[in-house]
Structure 1
Amino acid sequence: MTVIPKETSEGAATGRSVPKIAAGLALAWLLPLATHPIELDVLLPLVVLAGTAAIQRGSVGLLDRLVLACAQLFGAACLFGLAITLWPGHLHPTLIAGVSLTVLVLVAAATGRLNRTPRRAGPKHGLRVDWLLALAAAGVSLISLVPYVVRDLGGRLGLPLAGEDIARHYLMYDVIGRTGGYLFMRPDALLPFVPDGEWRGIANYPQGLHFAYAVLDRFVRSSGGSGAPGTAADVFVWLLIGTFLLLALAVLWAARRIAGPGASPARTLPVLLLVAAWLVLGDPVTVLARGYPNELAGLACAAVLTAIVARPLTRLGEQTVTVALLLVGVSFSYPLFLPYAGVAALWWMRRARLWRRWWGWVAAVLTAVVAAIGPLTAMAASSGEQLLLNGTARVVDRPATAVLVGLAVLTLTVRNGLRAPSRRTALFAVGVASACAAGIGLYQIATIGRPVYYFDKLLHLLIVVALCALGGLARVPVRAQAVIALPVALAMAVAGGKWHTTPVAPGVQLALGKDRGSPEAARDALLMARMFPDGGNAVNVDLMGSPWRNWSATLGAAALQGQYRHFPGWRDLLYPAGKGGTYADMERLVVNSPVTVRFFVHDRRASMLVVDVEHPNRPNVRPGQPLPVAFGDPLAPSNIEAARLLAAKYPTKVQVVYATPANP
């Protein structure tokens, strides 16, 4: 009997493979060259994703390959961005797709995937579980998409615009698109767009996801340049939503993977239902609603990492590459989660005895060097008290999180669960995530007396890791699962909030339209950006409506028009929660403005100015109630009056636009 060498039997590159390699390399460039003239570049990312899924060797199922391919591509895109920033082609879709497909062909040839014999799909019940997973992901997608699909662009953009952070995320996405690469590698490119006081912080903020968004925007529009503000904002919002859907898929897949290949559909169904309910009803969906794209990407990478550390891929090389790319993805998106990811990766390296292989040391050193970029740039962007800062994130539901963690620990340990290495690793992951959250919480309590913003961010990480670990629930009898899963999901639906006392869960409020954000502000910002796409060499100030609407719209327009550099001076004057400003303060801003000031006015009742900032005479408004349009001192000029007075006094410096706000 003839013995066939292993590399030949697996289809490695041989003489017979050369024509296939040549054909693949030719198609890698012919396809992008063909799609660009007919504006179908949007298909190319799907081709790259399908190709990456096809060359997987350490997994069997289609969903396994799809999730792993998404995770690997994100980490690879973060790395690719380092080279793209330096080459002259920047973000042109033809060039990026050609290089990406070329790399895929070469990897396929090197790993023997060109002549691969198809592998068996595994047990039949495994395929049925995949269908359940797909249905659970589809259910999450449907419920999550409804609040955005039924809204216009202003309504969609208005949801995250309720928090200030989304404007800076859009700004980085936009400027990366304009300049063609990472801002931390050439921060001077950011100078025309941001104020001097924020330049260093924004230039060094983790930008992996913003870069990926900017690249995908080019493919969606089949363009090598930036689009109109409205179009770019629309693509940005849908990419934000898509990132949440990928997070949901990653968490559901991780729970299924930790459940193990032997888990039957009957035992897996309650697990997936509980995880899906928590994703769309509980705290994870608030990360989407508040507009934190980087955190969504970091959580998705953490979920996939948790799964493959608990139950590694069958190929050591592919496992090593995937872990490395996930660490890079976390580093370039949300370095706050990197300590958890690093400890989880070290746990797997110890189990795999990677230290016994020379290439394992090389991989570890290279990964550590690249993964250090995220935290190092973040340190340059932050102050010494960064971890003590407050933010606009919703406070996490503390009791529900405690129940979830306790449930995850229970399901991993009962019935001799710790005899399995996968469950011991999952329990270790929950412990590490808990320690990270507890550590920062104790630090904040000791320093400022209470836990704030970044503590809730680490609770988000703990929630995601615990949801992944709920795969251990598949070991519990089906009746016991129903007793556990149904009451917990019901409790999540009927209440939410900091102490689980707020009627209706955050996800239900979002789905029913109770959580509106600032849609009027977003529509005003889009109106201003459509009228003056580049700002018209002016700072555009919204004075059309109520105080929060004006403040958020001015911020949003500054980001959309690339005029954020001129916003900070007006931020304090417009900010409704501050002391306010007088007409003299407003005039001083006009005089000191380096560009023209363009006021947008509409409602004659709208007012914000006061006579005395130390003793402002404003309407009394109960906490939680919207501020009235006439929020200023009755003795101070209204918004229209102030704009007219300034235009009359400074006719070459001030413009007044009588605008009609857009209706939904």
Structure 2
Amino acid sequence: MTSRNAENPQAGQPGGPAAAPAPAQRRWPVLAAAVGLSWALPLLLDATGLDVVLIPVLVLAIASLIRVGGGLLDRLVVSAFLLCGAVMAFGLLFSVWPWGLAPVPGAGFLLTVVSVCGWLSGRRPHIPLRLRGTDALVLGTFGVVWHYMHHPLADKSITERLAFFVTSEDRMGHFSYFDGIHHVGGYNFLHQEAAKTFMMTPSEAVYPQGTHFLLAWIDVLVKSSTDGGPAAEMMNRYLLYVIGAYALLCAVLVWAARWIGGPRLRGWRAAAVCATVMAVMLIGSMSTLVERGFDSEIVGLLFLAVGLALLVRPAMGRAEFALVAVAGLVTVTFVYNLYGALLGLGLAAVLVVHRRRFAPRRGLLLTVLAGGTLLAGLPSIFSVLTKLDVSKTSNLAGPMVVPDRPVLIGCALAALLAASLRANRRTATGQMVLVLVLGAMAMLTLFGVYQTKTIGYLSYYFEKLAAAGLVISLISLGLVGLLLTPGQQAEGSPRRRRVERLLQSGLAAVTALALFGGVQFGVPSGWTSFADRLNTTSAFHESPMIKWAKGGGRSDMGPPARALVGRDLKDRPGPVIALYSNDSYLNLKSTFLAQLLNHRAGDMVALYEIFYVQMGGPPTAKDAQKREFATLYDTSLVHLKKALAEGPAAPTILVGDRTVADRLTKDLAKAGIAASVVYAPLPAH
């Protein structure tokens, strides 16, 4: 059967357009007061060091004017999404005006835009206060993921936390973009010469910077200053933002599946869908995105989930739809332009599926969307026309996070089954899911064929595109949930019916967690020995997220990080090279960290030759047994000299072993190479 409520943006939406307060008259004194308050509030909060309060103020201000969603959580999600789009889009302006990312001008401008838009719309501020039972699963997902991902950082000093920050080169690179935006006061690609000091060229021109700009804007409000402070403290805050973004991604996927289900998805069926998505994210491989340092991918998947959910079921008026569509284009392409094609597919599909609904003022809507598309594509166009080699980049190799194939394929097939049934095929939501899943499968297949033909295997970006496919599969479970039979309404008093619905929803959630999350709630799992079962109560405890929570993601950079933070690296005339180990990769990361602490990651362009330097630490018993160990110093010295020859200035070389430091001092002096070699042993604890 079909449901008119599922396709009508006003039906079944308490607090939506049908239930909104009557329009207010446009009065000039009201506009003047609103604009005045838009600047007075940021000035007051900045004077008291509470600029971070401006974030919820902006979210609530937008939420009070839009008419999307019948519940409080829906409204807040959409308003936060629009705010992120506005920050990234107006960030182009912030990058070139004289105040940069200063809290008062930026927040005052954004609040003024909201005030003017509200005045022009004639809407009275209104926020629905209705809550849904499954809001607990959405918020609970965020809470659980944050608890486990933040757990290894709890009670740790800032220096100790660096072992979790420096888990990959990608994280260090992402932080350098964030650091650059802090210093240049805007997007790095608009300040390329200045930005080259803080990151490895050509990153300032070619890498999408939406994530880093948004986090830098948030960080300025958190600090109530454009000065980020010591680099180690900045790294700590940045890592917390990334962990928060991943927790938000997991929660948003639960919310998006529920949104796509619409008003028909309620009760125990909604609980089953939400808990299933929650369970997959708790136990799956995606949590390793944090450990691998795939920060932009995390944020890109987050915005992709929200944008596609709102396009699949655009339960809103034309004005809100235009805002949501443009916000989706901007956030996704500014953050991770690879996913822009999927967002574009969803936008094209919704304009076709809902063509009758958007027929009035179609020309104006298409003009707005065309302008939004151009705006969203500006950074990508700029990078392609300057330094980005698209064909070479698309086949890059690197560490990969492989999405769970059974979940990806199984959920996609389940979504296709649900969308192909006559009852759902006749609805716009069903048609959108069908187009989106088939389109995503086609894109993934074509890209896989392209990589196989060109490089002979599936590489780095294939798995990143597969992660987007997993997101689409999971949020499409909202439509699958409608296949479940709701059953007859409980009889008896209203209180009895509420209690019964609550028990059914709780049982559905527990069932989904047990089936798909390996959560057996204390019951030993698997055919193991009695002793093993005493130590392992659930398969959930073997998931990547729990391993991270137990400290499994900690890098071997702990001692070098403490050594580097404990030294004064400021005002050095040249780069700092850190050779604390005979492991070349550890030396590379130590050197990279030294440049980040000195806000000079741009020096790493020449210093990447350190990847081949295998000296600096005392020889271990295992090293002494190797026949080739004696030649490692000579080979490493060749690569070190090459790095020094390409470096911008005479470096300071920190060496963890005294014997190596003394020998290196003599060899560099003999070769006439200007460098300051310092014996810098690792701290004992």
TM-score (normalizing by structure 1):
0.83
Q: Which residue of 1 is the match for residue 578 of structure 2?
A: 542
In structure 2, give the amino acid aligned to 1:290.
R
Determine the C-alpha separation between the residues in 1 that align with 2:333 and 2:468: 14
**Greater shift after overlay, 544-553 or 175-184?**
544-553
Kept after mapping to 2: 8 A contact 1:601/1:658? yes
> Given the alignment, which residue of 300, 303, 321 partners 2:302?
300
Amino acid at match of 2:564: M
Describe the superposition over 1:321-348 as per-residue Cα deviations: whole angstroms up to 9, x where unpaired.
Answer: 1111111111111110111110101111
Q: Secondary structure at the match of 2:517?
A: helix
* 2:182 is aligned with 1:177: yes
Tell me if structure 2 keeps the 8 A contact 1:525–1:554.
no
Distance 1:332 1:12, change over 3 A: same
How far residue 304 of structure 1 moved from its aligned partner, in angstroms, is 1.0
Distance 2:329 2:422 in 1: 33
Give the distance between the partners of 1:118 and 1:112, measured in 2 at CA.
15
Q: Is contact 2:72-2:129 (8 Å) kept?
A: no
Q: CA deviation at 1:224?
A: 2.9
Distance 1:117 1:44 in 2: 19
For residues 182-581 of structure 1, what are the structure 2 equivalents within 5 Å?
Answer: 182-194=187-199, 199-353=201-355, 354=358, 357-379=362-384, 380-383=386-389, 384-413=391-420, 416-475=423-482, 476-477=484-485, 486-490=514-518, 504-520=542-558, 524-525=560-561, 527-528=563-564, 531-534=567-570, 536-547=572-583, 548-575=585-612, 581=635
**Deviation digits for residues 378-405 of structure 1, max 9, x if unmatched?**
4344323211111123333334432332
User: In structure 2, what residue type is equivalent to 1:596?
Assistant: A
* Inter-CA distance 39–311: structure 2 relative to 1 (3 Å threshold): same
Q: CA deviation at 1:68?
A: 0.8
**Closer/same/farther in 2, CA of residues 491 and 217 from structure 1, 3 Å limit:** closer
CA distance in 1, matches of 2:146, 2:349: 33
Q: In 1, Cα distance between the equivalents of 2:441 and 2:156?
A: 37
Question: Structure 2 CA distance, aligned partners of 1:276 and 1:480?
Answer: 13
SS of the residue aligned with 1:58? coil
Q: Distance in 2 between matches of 1:327 and 1:211?
A: 16
TM-align CA RMSD: 3.3
Tell me the CA shift for residue 164 of structure 1. 1.5
Structure 1 residues 147 and 644: alpha-carbon distance in aligned structure 2, compared to 1, 3 A threshold = same
Q: 1:483 to 1:101 in 2, by over 3 A?
A: closer
Which residue of 36, 41, 46 corresponds with 2:51?
41
| CA contact 1:155–1:516 (8 Å) conserved in 2 | no
1:640 lines up with 2:646 in the alignment: no
Look up the SS of the partner of 2:610 in the other structure.
Answer: helix
1:94 paired residue number = 104
The aligned amino acid for 2:650 is T
Alignment check: 8 A CA contact 1:201 1:381 kept: no
Q: Label 1:485 to 1:562 Cα distance change in 2 as closer, same or farther (>3 A).
A: closer
Measured in 2, the distance between the counterparts of 1:228 and 1:14 equals 48
> 2-side partners of 1:304 and 1:118: how far apart?
20
* Distance verdict in 2 for CA 1:589–1:378, change over 3 Å: closer
| Alpha-carbon distance, 1:303 to partner | 0.6
- Secondary structure of the residue aligned to 2:397 is coil
Q: Does the aligned pair in 1 maintain the 2:300–2:332 contact within 8 Å? A: yes
Q: Give yes or no for contact 2:65–2:125 (8 Å, CA) kept in 1.
A: no
**CA apart distance, 1:519:** 4.0
Structure 1 contact 209–297 (Cα < 8 Å) conserved: yes
Give 1:11's aligned residue.
Answer: 23
TM-superposition CA deviations, 1:489-544 (whole Å, max 9, x none): 3299999xxxxx99933223222322323442xx6346435634546122111112
Kept after mapping to 2: 8 A contact 1:77/1:212: yes
Distance (Å, rounded) in 2 between the aligned partners of 1:492 and 1:399: 21
Distance 1:42 1:147 in 2: 26
The structure-2 alpha-carbon separation of the partners of 1:117 and 1:176, relative to structure 1 and needing over 3 Å to count, comes to closer
Equivalent position amino acid for 2:388 in 1? S
- Closer, same or farther: CA 472–174 of 1 in aligned 2, 3 Å: same
Q: Distance in 1 between matches of 2:127 and 2:165?
A: 45
Amino acid at match of 2:365: G
Query: In structure 1, what is the Cα distance between the partners aligned to 2:605 and 2:540?
Result: 35
Secondary structure, counterpart of 1:536 in structure 2:
coil
Residues 426-465 of structure 1: per-residue CA shift (max 9 Å, x gap): 2322222222221111111111111010000001100111
Superposed counterparts of 1:614-653, under 5 Å: 639-646=660-667, 649=670, 653=674
Structure 1 ranges of 4+ moved more than 6 A:
478-485, 491-495, 576-580
Of the three residues 641, 649, 654, the one matched with 2:675 is 654
Compare 551-560 and 155-164 and name the one that shifted more: 155-164
TM-score, scaled to structure 2: 0.81
Q: Distance in 2 between matches of 1:79 and 1:332?
A: 9
* Counterpart-to-counterpart distance in 1, 2:414 and 2:329: 28
Q: Is the 8 A contact 1:526 1:557 kept in 2?
A: no
What SS does structure 1 have at the residue aligned with 2:109?
helix
TM superposition shift of 1:289: 2.2
Cα separation, 2, equivalents of 1:319 and 1:663 = 59
CA contact (8 A) 2:580 2:587 kept: yes
Relative to structure 2, which stretch is displaced further, 166-175 or 390-399?
Answer: 390-399
What per-residue deviation string (whole Å, max 9, x for no partner) do you get for residues 573-611 of structure 1? Answer: 33479997343443454456432221223345xxxxxxx
For structure 2, the 5+ residue unaligned runs are 1-17, 486-503, 527-538, 616-630
Distance in structure 1 (CA, Å) of the matches to 2:476 and 2:336: 21
CA gap 1:642/1:202 in 2 versus in 1, 3 angstroms: farther
Structure 1 unpaired stretches of 5+: 1-5, 496-500, 605-637
C-alpha separation in 2, matches of 1:173 and 1:292: 14
Partner of 1:184, secondary structure, is helix
Tell me which amino acid in the other structure corresponds to 1:28. Answer: S
Cα pair 1:283 1:460 within 8 Å, conserved: no
Deviations 1:155-210 (A, max 9, x none): 5443453321222211111111111112222322223445xxx5234323111121
Distance 1:492 1:72, change over 3 A: farther
Alpha-carbon offset, residue 69 of structure 1: 1.5
